[in-house]
Amino acid sequence: MKPRQIILLLAGAAAVRLAYQAIVFFLDGSFTMPDSGVYMHIARSLLVNEEQMPVIERMPIYPYFLASLMWLGGGVHSLAITAVQAIIDSLTVLGTALAARAIDRRLTWPTAILGCLWPTFVVYAAIVLTDTLFVMFFAWGLCASLWAARSERTLLCLVAAGILFGLALMTRPVLQFFPIFLLPALCYLVTRSTRSFWRTFLLACVPILIMGLFATPRLITTYTLYGAPVFSTQSGAHLMNFVYPCLKDPIDCSNMQAIQRQNRAIASKKLAELPPEEAGNPLAQDRILREIGMEQITSLSFRQITFGLVVGASRGFLLTSFREIGQQLQLNTPFFSTIPGGNFLERLKKLFQSITNGGFIAVWFGAQLTLLLSRLVQFRGFLQGLRNSEIRPMVVFLFVTAIYFLIVNGPIGYAKYRLPLEPALIIFLAMGIDGLWKIWNRRKGYAVEKTARDFNVASSST
């Protein structure tokens, strides 16, 4: 892409995001969620040196990012933060377009246009959360990995991929198990540029080793302070407050709040029983929460756990981000998980009544149908890529990285957790649209040819 085209793309993507943020602002919407306050508190503490001990529950890059903006702006301005995130998300669109270019040059601009308008990107760029920064690093890591298979500078591209994945890891801990999937996927991807097994394996290890270098200082710090090399203390609360409720009620996690209240009481009692020397140890606290979560999860049947995982992954894959728009604009929008009713059919009937009454819920329903249609086109694009031996390693690489997030996020079916999948989904959609366009042109050409042939036959007969 030429510099002028890159600037045009970045400006267009930023303009769409800033326009949405202006709408939220003028409609008195909110740019924050509950977790936003946690990151803002950590950022403020960094500015005034209040934190005596490192915060190991949250990863460091986003709080430092917020602290930098607060220092520059002289305080907390949510709209200013999201405006910067709009620019960062524009870089995600550029990285996704260049990743598509590594597969096929013709996919560059369709992917870029889709990325500019992609609702999930636009919505979450307007919320003070880690996701926009995390996905930017991850999308560029995917881009560098794909170009490693295309470029003659394979090692340099893989080094860049490792650095970008390392930065993403230090933004959100969800990538801590990613190397398990990344290594075999890279081995298959790099076979496109080299046929030597050992050279392929060593090259594939480069990003893994660099990610390890990013994680090592944190592991050393937690070992020195608390006696164990732990990457994050989010796992206990995550299992207890989110994974278990969604496994128990996978359709809508409707009893989540009640279960969380119950678990807080259990956890408070167990934490009070900790020895004095462990009472202030976050690793010991996380261990208690993790034990509670695991006890509850293992009390479920294997069938229930499997069902919960499948349903949760499906919900995360098939739900739109329009629910977040309703919450951000503080609209009283009924959704299936909040609709009262005695049984599933009764609640479903009330949902369709809300849709026929119009309003935002009708817009959401239209967006949901559009998303389901796009999934069919994406699936076609994925299959089309698998049939092409030249780009198959790249398609498989994108697929494996997407599967990782569906697995690791388990039963928690929120659109927010699908954000790292979006670069791959955008590319698959562009591939599917390209394939349908080719079919249209072939049929159109066949129709023109048939008309001309029939005309010639009629002319010769006369």
pLDDT tens for the 462 residues of the chain, in order: 788 999 999 999 999 999 999 999 998 888 988 888 889 888 888 887 655 566 787 889 999 999 999 888 777 788 899 999 999 999 999 999 999 999 999 999 999 999 999 999 999 999 999 999 999 999 999 999 999 988 888 999 999 999 999 999 999 999 999 999 999 999 999 886 667 778 889 999 999 999 999 999 989 988 888 888 888 888 888 888 888 888 888 777 767 788 888 888 888 888 888 887 777 788 888 888 888 888 888 888 888 888 888 888 888 888 887 777 877 877 766 555 566 666 666 666 666 666 566 666 777 778 888 889 999 999 999 999 999 988 999 999 999 999 999 888 877 777 788 899 999 999 999 999 998 988 888 777 666 566 656 555 555 555
**CA angle, corner 312, sides to 306 and 318, nearest 5?**
135
* Cβ–Cβ under 8 Å, residues 245 and 253: yes
Q: Which residues contact 384 (CB under 8 A, 6 or more apart)?
A: 431, 432, 435
Question: Looking at residue 348, what is its pLDDT?
Answer: 64
Question: Looking at residue 446, what is its pLDDT?
Answer: 64
Query: Does residue 192 lie in a domain region?
Result: yes
* Cβ–Cβ under 8 Å, residues 386 and 395: yes
Query: Does residue 183 lie in a domain region?
Result: yes
Distance CA 462, CA 459 (A): 5
Query: Does residue 169 lie in a domain region?
Result: yes
Q: Which residues contact 58 (CB under 8 A, 6 or more apart)?
A: 38, 39, 42, 232, 234
CA atoms within 13 A on the CB side of 6: 9
Query: Does residue 247 lie in a domain region?
Result: no
Question: Looking at residue 94, what is its pLDDT?
Answer: 97
The 3 state secondary structure assigned to the chain is CCHHHHHHHHHHHHHHHHHHHHHHHHCCCCCCCHHHHHHHHHHHHHHHCCCCCCCCCCCCHHHHHHHHHHHHHCCCCHHHHHHHHHHHHHHHHHHHHHHHHHHCHHHHHHHHHHHHHCHHHHHHHCCCCCHHHHHHHHHHHHHHHHHHHHCCCHHHHHHHHHHHHHHHHCCCHHHHHHHHHHHHHHHHHHCCCCCCHHHHHHHHHHHHHHHHHHHHHHHHHHHHHHCCCCCCCCHHHHHHHHHHHHHHCCCCCCCHHHHHHHHHHHHHHHHHCCCHHHHCCHHHHHHHHHHHHHHHHHCCCHHHHHHHHHHHHHHHHHCCCHHHHHHHCCCCCCCHHHCCCCCHHHHHHHHHHHHHCCCHHHHHHHHHHHHHHHHHHHHHHHHHHHHCCCCHHHHHHHHHHHHHHHHHCCCCCCHHHHHHHHHHHHHHHHHHHHHHHHHHHHHHHHHHHHHHHHHHHHHHHC
Question: Looking at residue 453, what is its pLDDT?
Answer: 61
Q: What is the dihedral of CA 159, 165, 171, 177, to 10 degrees?
A: -130
| Beta carbons within 10 angstroms of residue 124's beta carbon | 25
- As for how many domains the chain has, the answer is 1
Query: Does residue 450 lie in a domain region?
Result: no
pLDDT digits (tens, 9 = 90+) for 9-59: 999 999 999 999 999 999 888 898 888 888 988 888 888 765 556 678 788
Query: Does residue 189 lie in a domain region?
Result: yes
pLDDT digits (tens, 9 = 90+) for 196-235: 778 889 999 999 999 999 999 989 988 888 888 888 888 8
Question: Looking at residue 62, what is its pLDDT?
Answer: 94
Query: Does residue 78 lie in a domain region?
Result: no
DSSP state of 243: I
Distance CA 307, CA 248 (A): 10
Residue 214 belongs to what domain range?
A: 150-229
What tokens appear for 92 in the block? Answer: 């995600």
Of 120, 124, 118, nearest to 35 by C-alpha is 124
* Cβ–Cβ under 8 Å, residues 250 and 307: yes
Query: Does residue 164 lie in a domain region?
Result: yes
